[in-house]
Structure 1
């Protein structure tokens, strides 16, 4: 039997309507919800103009590999938190910035970034250590599906507000 923990994952980026439909199928297959202990995910649960935040308890090994693989293949940035399992692994935050490899950050059960002596020595300056914390605090952009209405802020940027 697999060790199981709670997870949360936030996904952003731009996708076509067809790609979103596949994404929604994967999210549903992973038994994720838009709230802790919430109803099974359906495509309409997405908040337009926001990143897609998903939650689940009792996730095997704290991973949603099919979802993370899909996001990486489609260039969708995400940040995932997984709780630790006593005696096996610590809590972690995985950040994928839409390209390259995902990065792992040690966190506590409240998703606060932690740092150990080895990392302090490796970073060797307070500026480098603070940069590490900044990297871990990646803000996932909204998930925009083709055909979504333009956000009000973006529409207002093009208008002349000075009269």
Structure 2
């Protein structure tokens, strides 16, 4: 049985309208919802023009695996926080900017970023520490739905 934790994720970027069904399928697969006690996620729950914020209790390994994979494949930026699972893993924040590999950050159960002494030494300067912190706390852009058919894109 998988270790489980509470998870929140904020998703933004440009989503082609023909992918709404696939995005919703990934959301439902991972058990995410619009709030902590909501029912199943519906395709109509995608509202363009705002950050898509999802959450879930008792999520396997503290990550929305199918949803995060979908976001990486389609270049949708996200920031995910997961709580700790006693004796297995601590809380973390994962930030994906839509282009590079997702970056993992130590966090508290209140979603505050932490720095280990080793990380501070690796970063080496206050400017580098501040840049690292700024990336960890970057604001996800709103999710916009692009209704342009794929054949018309240049």
TM, length-normalised to structure 2: 0.90
Query: RMSD between aligned alpha carbons?
Result: 1.4
Q: Give the gaps of 5 or more residues in structure 2.
A: 148-154
Q: How do 1:11-160 and structure 2 match up within 5 A?
A: 11-147=11-147
Is contact 2:27-2:66 (8 Å) kept?
no
Distance 1:15 1:46 in 2: 10
SS at match of 1:89: coil
SS at match of 2:34: coil
Distance 1:14 1:23 in 2: 12
Number of residue pairs aligned between Structure 1 and Structure 2: 148
1:15 is displaced (CA, Å) by 1.6
1:21 is displaced (CA, Å) by 1.6
1:65 is displaced (CA, Å) by 1.3
Q: Which moved more, 1:4-13 or 1:43-52?
A: 43-52
Runs of 4+ in structure 1 off by over 4 angstroms are: none
1:23 is displaced (CA, Å) by 0.3
TM, length-normalised to structure 1: 0.86
